[in-house]
Amino acid sequence: MARSGLIPESVVQFTSVTSLKTESFKNDFGEFFYRSVKPQLMFGYRVETVGDGLPVQIATPEKALCDFLYLNPQYDTKDEIEALRLDPDVLAEISANSRLDSTAARFGSQALARRVGLVKEIYSL
């Protein structure tokens, strides 16, 4: 079975970024969170078609990681980041495409750059 995300367990919460207001809702499919970011941070995605032709924007793996670390500043130490149990295969793929640093740099956040550095150190990227 192929892995499709950074976290190797089943996901019961889905988080999306939006330039609109932060919002959340729950239904039979799970809990959905929309987290607000500045419009200039709405980059790094591809468009995929789901269901009956509905286009959705899916973040690239490096953008998803940067969004997560940017929106969750509580993950700020090696121990906290290790506790996330990120998928090393996906991280290796992110590292191989060499876009992680440039993606993180577009956020203009030293705190994010430091957290990305911790991830790279922990996972030897």
Residue 18 pLDDT: 87
Torsion of Cα atoms, 54 then 46 then 31 then 104, to 10°: -160
| Parallel, antiparallel or unpaired: strands 30-36 and 23-27 | antiparallel
Residue-level pLDDT, tens digit, the chain, 125 residues? 444 566 555 666 778 898 889 999 898 888 888 999 999 999 999 999 988 899 989 999 999 999 999 999 999 999 999 999 999 888 988 888 788 999 999 999 999 999 999 999 999 88
Q: Which helix (H) or strand (E) holds 95?
A: helix 88-96
Residue 125 pLDDT: 85
